[in-house]
Amino acid sequence: MSNLEAGKPGVVRLATAALVALVVALVVGAFWFTGRGADPASPETLPKNPRVIVISMDGLASYAVTRAQMPVLTRLRTGGASTLNARTAVERTVTLPNHTGMVTGRKIDAAVGGHGVTWNVASARNVRADVPSVFTVIHAAGGQSAVFVGKGKFRMWKRSWPGTIDRFAVEADLPALTDAVLADLGAQRRDLTFFHIAAPDVAGHASGWDSPAYDAAVTASDRALGKVVKAVESDPDLARDTIIVVTADHGGPPGLKDHGDATALVDFQIPFVVWGPGVAARDLYDINPDYTDPGDAQPSYDGPQPVRNAAVANLVTGLLGLDPVPGSQIDLRQDLGVVE
C-alpha cells in the first residue's frame, strides 16, 4: 500500500472510491435483502429457501424419550410441533420397511400400493423400479440430498434410486457418522440431509429395550442430535433456513430384545418432532384436525389417520415447495401442518 501511495496517488484515489462504492452497495443491498422477507404482521414464518434435516433414531420408543436423558430432543419437542403418539407403518415394526416408508411416503404392502420392502436384511434386492422416493423428487427439481446411515442394509436406497443421492455414507460408529454429517452441513448446501442413528436399536437387541445400555444409547443419540442442532444454530444461513425432523422407525418392549410385534404399543408408538424457524411450538394433533390422536391403538389405513413416520417424505417435499412423491399415499396432500 505504501508503494502505491508514493508512486500512483491517482490509482489509490480510484481504488478508494471504488471501495467506498462497494461498501455502500453492500450495506444498501444487505438492508434491501433483510427487509424483503420481513412481514411485521407475521414475524414467525417458515424459511423462504428451506433445507430439511431428517433424523431417524432407530428403535427409539416414545416412552424412552421421557425416561432416558434426552435434553436436546426435549427442547425440540417443546419448542416445535411434536407428538410422542405418532405411529409406524401398520404392517411391520422393523427398520428397513419403515425407513423406506419415510422416504417414499408409502405403506409397506405392495398389494395396496405400498413400496413392497417387507424384508429387513442386507440383500441384493432393490425397491421396485416404479417406486420413486423423496430423493427422486429433489433430484428432478435440481436439488441435493445426502444420506448418512448407521447400517449397511440402507445401501438398497443408493442402488434403488441411482444418481439421486448426492452423498451416501455408511458408518457404524455414531460419533464418526455425526462428524461426517457436520462436515457435510458445513461444506454443501443440501436440500435434504437424512441422518439415521442406529444406536438405540443396537443396544436394545444386545441388552434389551429400556435397559441401562439402551438408555445410554438413547442419551448418546440425543448428544448426536445436539451436535447437529449446535451446528445449525451457530451458522446464520443454516439457522435461518433449516427445519429439523426427528422420528423413529419403531420402538421396542422393555426388557426384551425384539421389536417385531406390530400389534404392540411399545413397538408402534414413536415420536415425531418438527423444529425450526416458523414452526409452531404446539402438539401436532392440536394444529392438525385432519389427523386423529390414536390413543393406544394402531389404526388401520382406513378411516382417521394418526401422524405416521411415513409422513416424512411429503412433509419434506411440502416444506421444500415440491410436488408430493409420485405414487405416495401418506400425507399425499401435504397437509400435515407445522405452523399455527
- What's the closest the beta carbon of residue 335 comes to Zn ion, in angstroms? 31
CB–CB of 97/89 below 8 Å? yes
- What's the closest the beta carbon of residue 94 comes to Zn ion, in angstroms? 6
Piece of the chain touching Zn ion by CB under 5 A; list 33-41, 42-50, 187-195, 197-205 = 197-205
166 binds Zn ion (CB under 5 A): no
Binding-site member from 171, 201, 222, 241 for Zn ion (CB under 5 A)? 201
Q: How far apart are CA 304 and CA 267, in angstroms?
A: 20
* Side chain identity, residue 312: V
Piece of the chain touching Zn ion by CB under 5 A; list 26-34, 62-70, 199-207, 310-318 = 199-207
- What's the closest the beta carbon of residue 58 comes to Zn ion, in angstroms? 7
- What's the closest the beta carbon of residue 99 comes to Zn ion, in angstroms? 11
Angle between helices 212-233 and 199-207 (to 10 degrees): 170
| Residue list 244-283, contact with Zn ion (CB under 5 A) | none
Angle between helices 212-233 and 174-187 (to 10 degrees): 10
Piece of the chain touching Zn ion by CB under 5 A; list 82-90, 198-206, 212-220, 304-312 = 198-206
Residue 54 pairs in a beta bridge with 194, 245
Q: Would you state the cell numbers that stand for residue 238, as one nine-digit string?
A: 443454516
- What's the closest the beta carbon of residue 101 comes to Zn ion, in angstroms? 15
Q: In this chain, which residue has its C-beta nearest to Zn ion?
A: 201
Q: How far apart are CA 330 and CA 68, in angstroms?
A: 30
CB closer to Zn ion out of 256 and 339? 256
- What's the closest the beta carbon of residue 207 comes to Zn ion, in angstroms? 13
DSSP-assigned letters across all residues of 280-334 = -SSBHHHH-TTS---TT----SSSS---BGGGHHHHHHHHTT-PPPTT--TTTT-
- Give the count of residues interacting with Zn ion (CB under 5 A): 1
Q: Would you state the cell numbers that stand for residue 99, as one nine-digit string?
A: 425407513
Piece of the chain touching Zn ion by CB under 5 A; list 16-24, 43-51, 195-203, 211-219 = 195-203
CB closer to Zn ion out of 171 and 201? 201
CB closer to Zn ion out of 62 and 242? 62
DSSP-assigned letters across all residues of 149-169 = ESSGGGHHHHHHSTTS-SEEE
CB–CB of 83/271 below 8 Å? yes
Q: How far apart are CA 274 and CA 281, in angstroms?
A: 9
Piece of the chain touching Zn ion by CB under 5 A; list 35-43, 136-144, 193-201, 237-245 = 193-201
- What's the closest the beta carbon of residue 199 comes to Zn ion, in angstroms? 11
CB closer to Zn ion out of 59 and 80? 59
Task: List residues near Zn ion by CB under 5 A.
Answer: 201
